[in-house]
Amino acid sequence: MHLMYFTEQPMSAYSAEEGLKFGATALMFSNKHYDPVAGSRLYNQYLEDYIYAEECGIEGIMLNEHHNAPFCMQSKTNVFASILAAVTKKAKIVILGNPLPLAENPVRLAEELSMIDMISKGRLVSGFVRGGGQEQLATGVNPAFNRERFIEAHDLVTKAWTTPGPFRWEGTHYQHRVVNPWAVPLQKPYPRVWIPGVLSRETVIWSAQQRYPYICLNTSIEATKKIWETYDAAAAEVGYEPGPENRGYLIRCHVSDTEEKAKKNARQFMWMQGEFTGLAHPVWSSPSGYFSPTQRRGFVEFATGRAVSPRGNPTFEDQLDSMMIIAGTPDQVIAKLKYIMEETRPGIMALWGNDGAVSPEDARTCIRLLGQEVMPALKSYGRELGLTDPFEIDAPVHLRYSKDLKQPAVAAE
């Protein structure tokens, strides 16, 4: 079982009152509220936390990307991935992920990721996402072409990684007279691709068709089981039976020395959900053309007051009770995570440890307890459950280079 640490890297140093007053902090909330001095401090703090995570034995660092919003400071996930490639030694650098539809030049993206893979000596996991609805508006991309651009950019990136150039690409959204990058991945045929998401049926099916692991982002246990049913059915149609190595799960989980402190800090997960700062207007987060007609209708009905949120609006206490948020001492957290593992059977698990205004000291305590107590117990239990991860299943075939990284290994059949 592969275990990772994650945080959204929130820009917590601004007036929450101003965010609540405006009512939506994604996309249209003015950047006059951004303090670059505080931003510099936080960027460096998060970087030190990632380095500390590796020192504490955490085997994977998960990164993501958002735009025009204080809930996530990573406006280019490849920047942090590049730094981590140089300053860490063992941890997998798991990008979940680069929003492909926002890429105006997928060949350049392929080069960036190749550089990260080479500098890290093959530790990159290159996840791809469609990007949130507000991301399309923030970067001037037509939401109606989101899925088309996602698929075409994916195909161009993977071809640039695997097909010797020069060759020409004349697509619907991307045209390149010459594709011939002189930076290609160390991992062969290319770095692992994992796809994160919530409830997009189309993305789940596409991931299964590609045989890519799908990472459920804090979905309920029942919703997660339905996602696996969809994934399994799509996999069967293309001729294979998926296992735990195809399944991932992200859960918000804060650990501390006492249950009281853990719950106090875990309440900061509500910061992103809008309790403290507001979040995104539903029409901005699901612009016309971005979702399928059925999903779009649900969001519009919610926005106009004719329906409840499609994702619900649970309180902090509701989410603790349903284990959408887990908080406590290591022993308390381990017991609940074991139950989630039994029910969802993931070979990949990301623990979202800190959010909002959790202090640097408490964040470090959480990271230490995750790395030294929680994750080792989960990894051991995962072996008991047979929760193999992608590195255990296909490493001999997928990683076609030698251990000393000097000479290419013979490719397996």
Query: Which has the minimum average pLDDT: 44-53, 162-171, 403-412?
Result: 403-412
Structural contact between residues 378 and 395, judged by C-beta atoms closer than 8 angstroms = no
- Given this model, what pLDDT does residue 83 score? 98
pLDDT digits (tens, 9 = 90+) for 319-377: 999 999 999 999 999 999 999 999 999 999 999 999 999 999 999 999 999 999 999 99
- Mean pLDDT calculated for residue range 86-101: 97
| CATH number listed for the domain at residues 2-398 | 3.20.20.30
Domain residue spans of the chain: 2-398
Exposure string (b/e) for 268-279, b if CB count within 10 Å is 16 or more?
Answer: bbbbbbbbbbbb
**Confidence band, pLDDT 50/70/90 cuts, at residue 298:** low
pLDDT value at 302 more than 60: no
Query: DSSP state, 327?
Result: E
How is 23-91 classified by DSSP, letter by letter? SB-SSSS-GGG--HHHHHHHHHHHHHHHHHHHHTT--EEEE----S-TT---S-HHHHHHHHHHH-SSS
In this predicted model, what pLDDT tens digit does every residue of 130-174 receive, in sequence order?
Answer: 998 889 999 999 999 999 999 999 999 999 999 999 999 999 999
Window from 19-28, 58-67, 68-77 with minimum mean pLDDT: 19-28
What local confidence, expressed as pLDDT, does residue 84 receive? Answer: 98
Q: Is a pLDDT exceeding 50 seen at residue 127?
A: yes
- Plot region of 245 (φ>0 → left; ψ -120 to 50 → alpha; else → beta): alpha
Enter the tokens of residue 32. Answer: 């006059």
Higher pLDDT, 16 or 189: 189
Q: The tokens of 207 are what? A: 């991931």
Max mean pLDDT among 60-74, 167-181, 310-324 falls in: 167-181
Structure tokens at 240: 């294979």
Which whole number is the average pLDDT over 296-315?
Answer: 61
The CB density around residue 90, as the number of other CB atoms within 10 Å, is 12
Residues constituting the chain: 413
| Rounded Cα gap, residues 290 and 108, in angstroms | 25
Could you tell me which residues come within 8 angstroms of residue 395 by beta carbon, excluding any fewer than 6 positions away?
Answer: none
Q: What is the mean pLDDT of residues 16-45?
A: 91
Across 226-328, the runs of DSSP E, i.e. the strands, are 247-255, 325-328
